[in-house]
Amino acid sequence: MKEIKAIIRPFKLTQVITELKKIQGLPGVTVSQIKGFGKSRAQDAQEKIVDEMIEYAEKVKIEVVVKDDMVHEVVSVIQQNAFTGNTGDGKIFVYDVNDVIKIRTNESGAQAI
């Protein structure tokens, strides 16, 4: 099991989610509004947040946990739909997931995804 965590531009969220929902068997998605900075320290960001004198860019975080065989498809859908070609497009991180427990049924592991 893997977690795909993507940090993307907020205006790309609808397009990315619309395309992710087309993936057969997609188990779920978590979306958060976040702030951060990359190598350019958010200096070139259009929508900047200044917090305690530090500049951040507004971004959206998407988290998806899937079986290994779905990782490639999820990553490529996010990459294709979040792309503008400009600095600040974001990043996709992929992590190993040790376990998942579904609260309602007490299932665990891949069955619980």
Ligand X SMILES: Nc1ncnc2c1ncn2[C@@H]1O[C@H](COP(=O)(O)OP(=O)(O)OP(=O)(O)O)[C@@H](O)[C@H]1O
* From 23-31, 47-55, 68-76, 82-90, span contacting ligand X (CB under 6 A): 82-90
CA distance 87 to 64: 24
Between 67 and 91, name the residue whose CB sits nearer to ligand X. Answer: 91
Between 89 and 110, name the residue whose CB sits nearer to ligand X. Answer: 89
Please give the span between the terminal C-alpha atoms of the chain, in angstroms, as a whole number. Answer: 9
**28 contacts: CB under 8 Å, gap ≥ 6:** 64, 65, 113
Binder among 38, 48, 55, 71 for ligand X (CB under 6 A)? 38
CA distance 59 to 71: 22
Closest CA to 64 of 35, 89, 95, 33: 95
Binder among 15, 18, 32, 40 for Mg ion (CB under 5 A)? 40
* From 10-18, 23-31, 34-42, 68-76, span contacting ligand X (CB under 6 A): 34-42
Binder among 5, 37, 63, 110 for ligand X (CB under 6 A)? 37
Binder among 1, 4, 7, 62 for ligand X (CB under 6 A)? 7
